[in-house]
Structure 1
Amino acid sequence: MFVSTAYAQTAASAGGGGDMLVQFAPLILIFVVFYFLLIRPQQKKMKEHKAMLSAIRRGDRVVTGGGIIGIVTKVGTDDEITVEIAENVRVRCLRSTVNIVLAKTEPAGKSGGDAATPVVEGEAKPADTAAGGIGKLFGRK
Protein backbone atom coordinates (compact mmCIF):
# COMPACT_ATOMS: atom_id res chain seq x y z
CA MET A 1 0.00 0.00 0.00
CA PHE A 2 0.95 3.57 -0.54
CA VAL A 3 0.02 4.93 2.90
CA SER A 4 2.03 3.88 5.89
CA THR A 5 0.33 3.18 9.15
CA ALA A 6 0.50 6.07 11.63
CA TYR A 7 0.91 5.26 15.26
CA ALA A 8 -0.23 7.58 18.03
CA GLN A 9 2.59 8.92 20.14
CA THR A 10 2.24 9.22 23.85
CA ALA A 11 2.07 12.83 25.07
CA ALA A 12 5.01 14.23 26.99
CA SER A 13 4.34 14.34 30.69
CA ALA A 14 3.11 17.71 31.93
CA GLY A 15 5.55 19.24 34.39
CA GLY A 16 2.84 20.63 36.65
CA GLY A 17 2.15 24.20 37.83
CA GLY A 18 5.74 25.46 37.48
CA ASP A 19 5.71 24.94 33.74
CA MET A 20 2.46 26.91 33.45
CA LEU A 21 3.96 29.88 35.34
CA VAL A 22 6.91 30.01 32.95
CA GLN A 23 4.51 30.15 29.99
CA PHE A 24 2.49 33.05 31.45
CA ALA A 25 5.48 35.02 32.81
CA PRO A 26 6.01 37.05 29.59
CA LEU A 27 2.32 37.99 29.45
CA ILE A 28 2.36 39.08 33.10
CA LEU A 29 5.57 41.05 32.52
CA ILE A 30 4.06 42.82 29.48
CA PHE A 31 0.98 43.78 31.51
CA VAL A 32 3.14 45.19 34.33
CA VAL A 33 5.20 47.25 31.86
CA PHE A 34 2.04 48.58 30.17
CA TYR A 35 0.60 49.51 33.55
CA PHE A 36 3.62 51.57 34.62
CA LEU A 37 4.34 53.13 31.20
CA LEU A 38 0.82 53.79 29.88
CA ILE A 39 -2.07 53.28 32.29
CA ARG A 40 -0.70 54.88 35.46
CA PRO A 41 0.61 58.13 33.85
CA GLN A 42 -2.67 58.53 31.96
CA GLN A 43 -4.67 58.17 35.19
CA LYS A 44 -2.42 60.74 36.87
CA LYS A 45 -2.88 63.17 33.97
CA MET A 46 -6.67 62.75 34.07
CA LYS A 47 -6.68 63.37 37.83
CA GLU A 48 -4.65 66.61 37.40
CA HIS A 49 -6.96 67.78 34.58
CA LYS A 50 -10.04 67.11 36.71
CA ALA A 51 -8.51 69.11 39.59
CA MET A 52 -7.70 71.95 37.19
CA LEU A 53 -11.29 72.01 35.92
CA SER A 54 -12.73 72.10 39.42
CA ALA A 55 -10.44 75.03 40.33
CA ILE A 56 -11.61 77.29 37.48
CA ARG A 57 -12.86 80.64 38.78
CA ARG A 58 -13.95 83.98 37.41
CA GLY A 59 -11.13 85.91 35.75
CA ASP A 60 -9.10 82.87 34.65
CA ARG A 61 -7.79 82.95 31.10
CA VAL A 62 -8.58 79.62 29.44
CA VAL A 63 -8.27 77.77 26.13
CA THR A 64 -11.24 75.65 25.10
CA GLY A 65 -11.17 72.41 23.14
CA GLY A 66 -11.90 74.32 19.94
CA GLY A 67 -8.88 76.57 20.47
CA ILE A 68 -10.86 79.62 21.61
CA ILE A 69 -8.97 81.76 24.12
CA GLY A 70 -11.03 83.79 26.54
CA ILE A 71 -11.56 84.98 30.10
CA VAL A 72 -14.04 83.25 32.38
CA THR A 73 -16.72 85.76 33.36
CA LYS A 74 -19.15 83.46 35.14
CA VAL A 75 -18.89 80.02 36.69
CA GLY A 76 -22.23 78.28 36.94
CA THR A 77 -23.24 75.77 39.56
CA ASP A 78 -23.59 73.09 36.89
CA ASP A 79 -20.90 72.06 34.46
CA GLU A 80 -21.30 75.36 32.61
CA ILE A 81 -19.07 78.45 32.42
CA THR A 82 -19.33 81.71 30.51
CA VAL A 83 -16.21 82.78 28.61
CA GLU A 84 -15.67 86.25 27.13
CA ILE A 85 -13.81 85.77 23.86
CA ALA A 86 -13.94 89.40 22.68
CA GLU A 87 -15.24 92.67 24.04
CA ASN A 88 -18.94 92.14 24.86
CA VAL A 89 -18.92 88.68 23.21
CA ARG A 90 -19.67 85.96 25.73
CA VAL A 91 -19.97 82.25 25.04
CA ARG A 92 -21.44 79.60 27.32
CA CYS A 93 -19.48 76.37 27.25
CA LEU A 94 -19.06 73.24 29.27
CA ARG A 95 -16.36 73.17 31.91
CA SER A 96 -15.09 69.87 30.50
CA THR A 97 -14.22 71.53 27.16
CA VAL A 98 -11.49 73.63 28.78
CA ASN A 99 -8.08 72.25 27.85
CA ILE A 100 -5.66 74.68 29.50
CA VAL A 101 -5.85 77.42 32.09
CA LEU A 102 -3.34 80.01 30.85
CA ALA A 103 -3.52 82.47 33.74
CA LYS A 104 -4.93 81.88 37.20
CA THR A 105 -6.40 84.70 39.24
CA GLU A 106 -5.49 85.29 42.85
CA PRO A 107 -8.20 84.69 45.41
CA ALA A 108 -9.68 87.92 46.82
CA GLY A 109 -8.32 87.28 50.33
CA LYS A 110 -4.65 86.89 49.32
CA SER A 111 -3.82 90.19 47.64
CA GLY A 112 -6.53 92.32 49.14
CA GLY A 113 -7.00 93.83 45.69
CA ASP A 114 -8.97 92.94 42.63
CA ALA A 115 -9.88 89.23 42.53
CA ALA A 116 -9.89 89.19 38.74
CA THR A 117 -6.24 90.19 38.38
CA PRO A 118 -4.47 87.31 36.61
CA VAL A 119 -1.08 86.19 37.87
CA VAL A 120 1.26 85.06 35.11
CA GLU A 121 4.95 84.43 35.59
CA GLY A 122 7.08 86.90 33.66
CA GLU A 123 4.40 89.60 33.49
CA ALA A 124 4.54 92.84 35.40
CA LYS A 125 2.49 92.82 38.58
CA PRO A 126 0.48 95.88 39.68
CA ALA A 127 3.31 96.97 42.02
CA ASP A 128 5.79 97.00 39.10
CA THR A 129 4.64 100.28 37.64
CA ALA A 130 6.37 103.47 36.49
CA ALA A 131 9.42 103.98 38.77
CA GLY A 132 9.84 100.29 39.61
CA GLY A 133 9.66 99.28 35.96
CA ILE A 134 12.19 101.93 34.89
CA GLY A 135 14.56 100.84 37.63
CA LYS A 136 14.44 97.28 36.32
CA LEU A 137 15.40 98.51 32.86
CA PHE A 138 18.64 99.97 34.24
CA GLY A 139 19.47 96.94 36.36
CA ARG A 140 18.23 98.27 39.72
CA LYS A 141 16.18 96.11 42.00
Structure 2
Amino acid sequence: MDTLVGLLPIIAIALVFWLLIIRPQMRRQRELVQMQSAISAGDEVLLSSGVFGTIAAIEDTHLMVTIAPGVEIKVARGAVAQILRDEPAPELGEQRDAEATDAPDTDTEER
Protein backbone atom coordinates (compact mmCIF):
# COMPACT_ATOMS: atom_id res chain seq x y z
CA MET A 1 0.00 0.00 0.00
CA ASP A 2 2.81 2.43 0.86
CA THR A 3 4.55 1.72 -2.46
CA LEU A 4 1.34 2.56 -4.34
CA VAL A 5 1.04 5.86 -2.48
CA GLY A 6 4.72 6.56 -3.24
CA LEU A 7 4.20 5.92 -6.96
CA LEU A 8 1.07 8.07 -7.19
CA PRO A 9 2.97 11.41 -7.67
CA ILE A 10 5.14 9.87 -10.40
CA ILE A 11 2.05 8.53 -12.18
CA ALA A 12 0.35 11.94 -11.87
CA ILE A 13 3.40 13.71 -13.33
CA ALA A 14 3.54 11.26 -16.24
CA LEU A 15 -0.19 11.80 -16.91
CA VAL A 16 0.15 15.59 -16.87
CA PHE A 17 3.21 15.36 -19.14
CA TRP A 18 1.25 13.24 -21.61
CA LEU A 19 -1.78 15.55 -21.55
CA LEU A 20 0.16 18.80 -21.95
CA ILE A 21 3.01 17.83 -24.26
CA ILE A 22 2.71 14.50 -26.05
CA ARG A 23 -0.99 14.54 -26.96
CA PRO A 24 -1.02 18.04 -28.57
CA GLN A 25 2.16 17.21 -30.51
CA MET A 26 0.54 14.02 -31.86
CA ARG A 27 -2.50 16.05 -32.93
CA ARG A 28 -0.34 18.64 -34.75
CA GLN A 29 1.61 15.86 -36.49
CA ARG A 30 -1.64 14.20 -37.62
CA GLU A 31 -2.95 17.51 -38.99
CA LEU A 32 0.33 18.11 -40.86
CA VAL A 33 0.19 14.66 -42.47
CA GLN A 34 -3.45 15.23 -43.50
CA MET A 35 -2.56 18.62 -45.00
CA GLN A 36 0.39 17.16 -46.91
CA SER A 37 -1.73 14.32 -48.28
CA ALA A 38 -4.42 16.78 -49.44
CA ILE A 39 -2.02 18.66 -51.74
CA SER A 40 -3.12 18.88 -55.36
CA ALA A 41 -1.59 20.33 -58.50
CA GLY A 42 -2.07 24.09 -58.73
CA ASP A 43 -2.02 24.71 -54.96
CA GLU A 44 0.13 27.56 -53.74
CA VAL A 45 2.37 26.35 -50.93
CA LEU A 46 4.98 27.56 -48.46
CA LEU A 47 7.89 25.18 -48.06
CA SER A 48 9.61 24.67 -44.73
CA SER A 49 12.67 26.46 -46.15
CA GLY A 50 10.61 29.64 -46.63
CA VAL A 51 10.21 29.29 -50.41
CA PHE A 52 6.81 30.09 -51.92
CA GLY A 53 5.68 28.18 -54.99
CA THR A 54 2.92 26.45 -56.92
CA ILE A 55 2.59 22.68 -57.18
CA ALA A 56 3.21 21.67 -60.81
CA ALA A 57 3.20 17.87 -60.48
CA ILE A 58 2.76 15.29 -57.74
CA GLU A 59 4.63 12.00 -57.56
CA ASP A 60 4.74 9.36 -54.82
CA THR A 61 7.32 10.81 -52.46
CA HIS A 62 8.10 14.17 -53.98
CA LEU A 63 6.56 17.20 -55.66
CA MET A 64 7.58 19.45 -58.52
CA VAL A 65 7.15 23.04 -57.35
CA THR A 66 7.24 26.06 -59.67
CA ILE A 67 8.98 28.91 -57.86
CA ALA A 68 9.35 31.28 -60.83
CA PRO A 69 8.26 31.19 -64.47
CA GLY A 70 10.25 28.37 -66.06
CA VAL A 71 11.90 27.32 -62.77
CA GLU A 72 10.76 24.08 -61.12
CA ILE A 73 12.33 22.38 -58.14
CA LYS A 74 11.88 18.86 -56.87
CA VAL A 75 11.06 18.71 -53.14
CA ALA A 76 10.04 16.03 -50.67
CA ARG A 77 6.35 15.95 -49.83
CA GLY A 78 7.25 16.58 -46.19
CA ALA A 79 8.86 19.91 -47.10
CA VAL A 80 5.44 21.54 -47.50
CA ALA A 81 4.79 23.54 -44.35
CA GLN A 82 1.54 25.25 -45.36
CA ILE A 83 -0.99 25.39 -48.18
CA LEU A 84 -1.74 29.05 -48.87
CA ARG A 85 -5.34 30.10 -49.26
CA ASP A 86 -6.62 33.11 -51.19
CA GLU A 87 -7.37 35.35 -48.22
CA PRO A 88 -6.74 39.04 -48.69
CA ALA A 89 -4.25 40.41 -46.19
CA PRO A 90 -4.82 43.89 -44.78
CA GLU A 91 -2.65 46.58 -46.29
CA LEU A 92 -0.10 48.10 -43.94
CA GLY A 93 -1.26 51.62 -44.76
CA GLU A 94 -4.86 50.76 -43.98
CA GLN A 95 -3.88 49.32 -40.62
CA ARG A 96 -1.92 52.42 -39.65
CA ASP A 97 -4.78 54.71 -40.71
CA ALA A 98 -7.21 52.76 -38.55
CA GLU A 99 -4.86 52.91 -35.57
CA ALA A 100 -4.35 56.65 -36.03
CA THR A 101 -8.08 57.44 -36.13
CA ASP A 102 -8.98 55.09 -33.27
CA ALA A 103 -6.46 56.60 -30.86
CA PRO A 104 -7.85 59.32 -28.60
CA ASP A 105 -6.21 62.69 -28.73
CA THR A 106 -4.12 62.77 -25.55
CA ASP A 107 -2.39 66.09 -26.20
CA THR A 108 -4.89 68.55 -24.73
CA GLU A 109 -2.36 71.09 -23.50
CA GLU A 110 -2.12 74.32 -25.49
CA ARG A 111 1.29 75.44 -26.58
Report the TM-score range of the alignment, normalised by the length of the smaller protein.
Answer: 0.7 to 0.9
Q: Distance in 1 between matches of 2:87 and 2:16?
A: 37
Paired residues in the alignment total 89
Q: Distance in 1 between matches of 2:80 and 2:88?
A: 23
- What pairs with 1:1-141 in structure 2 (closer than 5 Å)? 18-76=1-59, 78-103=60-85, 120-122=86-88
- Counting aligned pairs with the same residue, the percent is 36
Post-superposition Cα deviations, 1:22-52, rounded to whole Å, max 9, x if no partner, equal: 1111100000001110010000000000000
Q: Relative to total residues, which structure has the larger helix share, 1 or 2?
A: 2
Q: Which runs of 5+ in 1 are unaligned?
A: 1-17, 104-119, 124-141
Q: Distance in 1 between matches of 2:65 and 2:88?
A: 24
* Cα offset, 1:121, TM superposition: 3.0
Q: Secondary structure of 2:75's partner?
A: strand
Q: Secondary structure of 2:10's partner?
A: helix
> Once superposed, which parts of structure 1, at least 4 consecutive aligned residues long, lie more than 2 Å away?
none
Post-superposition Cα deviations, 1:67-106, rounded to whole Å, max 9, x if no partner, equal: 1100001111x11110000111110111011111113xxx
Q: Which runs of 5+ in 2 are unaligned?
A: 90-111
**Higher RCO structure, 1 or 2 (CA under 8 Å, sep 6+):** 2
Q: Secondary structure of 1:66's partner?
A: coil
TM-score for the superposition, normalised by structure 1: 0.60
* Cα offset, 1:66, TM superposition: 1.1
